């Protein structure tokens, strides 16, 4: 207590010699007390808030939106590069843009679209029949590099198709598969799965596309569907 009172008297004498008022002296004295010397950001004055960029959240980089991938624009699809249009035997994945290019080379007008989940799909018409190519096993890459695709088309019938008729199709025909849509027995889908995990070439994919075109015509006749 004696030492603390002595220090207080000495500091008071120093403040008086420096010409400080009682309020100014008290302010300086508070800063010297243990526990009042709070850490501050280097380059800033005590009692001030570090300068931040207007409109940014503390801890984030100015000009970016939290939760977005650097180099992409929030709310828009990432722009594909030339590498995303390539289909080759050494490539173990594919993109919607690479498949779209092959489809256009065959002569069909196609569009790349996105489901609500962000997964891409390609839609086009083959002999007046709407075809959808869905993508599976996609990475988190902005352009969505995927391991496999499903070529498919649907048919809405007046009456539910018997399962025995679909079983006959699977017994007599191979390469594709057909099924009734759950909870909608009058809607039937024809599909063809392709994997890119072992590589693919544009020529082979075009051959698969032609296989599906031929079998789609056979399936329409099998179920009695008229375009």
Model confidence pLDDT, tens digit, residues 207-226: 999 999 999 999 999 999 99
Half-sphere CA count of 50, side-chain side, radius 13 A:
8
Residue 86: its pLDDT value, please?
78
Residue 7: its pLDDT value, please?
45
Task: Retrieve residue 124's tokens.
Answer: 């086009």
Q: DSSP code of 79?
A: P
Residue 51: its pLDDT value, please?
52
Q: Which of 83, 106, 109, 111 shows the shortest CA–CA distance to 95? A: 83
Sorted by where each begins, the domain ranges of the chain are 2-32, 83-223
User: Rounded distance, CA 48 to CA 51, Å?
Assistant: 9
pLDDT tens column, 133-176 = 999 998 887 788 899 999 999 999 999 999 999 999 999 998 99
The dotted CATH code for 83-223 is 3.30.1460.10
CB 100 within 8 Å of CB 107: no
Q: What is the pTM of this model?
A: 0.63
Residue 202 reports pLDDT greater than 80: yes
Dihedral sign for Cα 123, 219, 160, 225, please: positive
Sequence-ordered alpha helix ranges (H) in 128-201:
163-172
Confidence of residue 82 (pLDDT cuts 50, 70, 90): confident
Residue 53 reports pLDDT greater than 90: no
pLDDT (average), residues 19-23 = 46
């Amino acid at each position: 207590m004696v030492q603390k009172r002595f220090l207080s008297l000495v500091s008071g004498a120093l403040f008086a010699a420096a010409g400080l008022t009682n309020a100014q002296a008290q302010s300086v004295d508070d800063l010297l007390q243990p526990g009042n010397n709070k850490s501050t950001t280097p380059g800033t004055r005590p009692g001030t808030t570090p300068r931040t960029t207007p409109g940014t959240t503390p801890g984030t980089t100015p000009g970016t939106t939290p939760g977005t991938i650097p180099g992409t624009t929030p709310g828009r699809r990432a722009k594909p590069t030339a590498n995303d249009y390539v289909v080759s035997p050494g490539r173990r994945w594919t993109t919607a843009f690479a498949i779209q290019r092959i489809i256009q080379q065959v002569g069909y007008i196609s569009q790349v679209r996105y489901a609500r989940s962000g997964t891409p799909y390609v839609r086009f018409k083959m002999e007046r029949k709407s075809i959808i190519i869905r993508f599976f096993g996609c990475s988190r890459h902005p352009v969505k590099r995927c391991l496999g695709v499903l070529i498919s088309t649907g048919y809405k019938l007046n009456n539910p198709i018997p399962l025995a008729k679909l079983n006959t199709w699977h017994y007599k025909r191979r390469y594709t598969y057909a099924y009734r849509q759950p909870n909608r027995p009058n809607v039937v889908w024809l599909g063809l799965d392709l994997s890119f995990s072992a590589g693919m070439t544009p020529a082979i994919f075009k051959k698969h596309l032609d296989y599906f075109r031929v079998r789609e015509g056979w399936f329409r006749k099998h179920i009695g569907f008229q375009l």
